Amino acid sequence: MMKRYPLLVFDWDGTLMDSPALIVSSIERSCLDLGLPVPPERESRYIIGLGFKDSLLHLVPTLAEEDYPQFTERYRYHFLSRDHESPLFSGVESMLEELGNAGHSLAVATGKSRVGLQRSLQQTDLGKHFQATRCADESFPKPHPAMLLEVMETLGMSADQTLMIGDTSHDLSMAQSAGVSAIAITHGAHTADELAALKPLACVDSIAALRTWLTLNG
């Protein structure tokens, strides 16, 4: 039987890895270190998945661009000191193995840096499951469609062969701009209502529910 979506592209933070709480905490601590107003948690969750410069423009608009490296240093300090605490969501590894064995090509399109993604792939030993990965610091960041289009070109897939899976409105907007269908998973950074407003094919609340949906429809 031909697969409806031979290419499945996953976001990372908040989709496969339960890291939004650590990201929010690292933002808050960085702001405190630099004497900046601490943004509300909802605002910090909103920027998850965006490129770093876009995130800072949204969160700390009064921060001068020449001070971005200082914020970056503090954020990396706080995040890296605890990134080993962020687990994969339950069932991720077995789902990826099952999808790969079923003949799907798997990829990642993430707002993480290349260095950050490589570290996560090594720590989790998930790199073996993905045929392509794209990061925000080597392409246009979300919601621009470039990362998704580049993954499709690398793997020789068309838009109608591709499904994007993510936990933020940025993931879904990227997919829409690329002409790609999308599934929203609601256990990550953005709320179910925010995700449903962008009209994905479905909203699922767990890896188990995603796995079921893909088995029936993917």
Query: Which residues are tagged catalytic?
Result: 11, 13
Q: What single DSSP character describes residue 161?
A: G
Confirm if 56 and 44 have CB atoms less than 8 A apart. no
Reply yes or no: is the peptide bond before residue 20 cis, omega within 30 of 0.
no
Cα–Cα–Cα angle for 43, 48, 50, nearest 5°?
105
Following DSSP, what letter does each residue of 75-105 receive, concatenated?
HHHHHHTTGGG-PBPTTHHHHHHHHHHTT-E
d(CA 76, CA 67): 15
Q: How far apart are the first and last CA of the chain?
A: 11
Instruction: State the burial class of residue 177 (Cβ atoms within 10 Å of its Cβ: 0-12, 13-18, 19+).
Output: middle
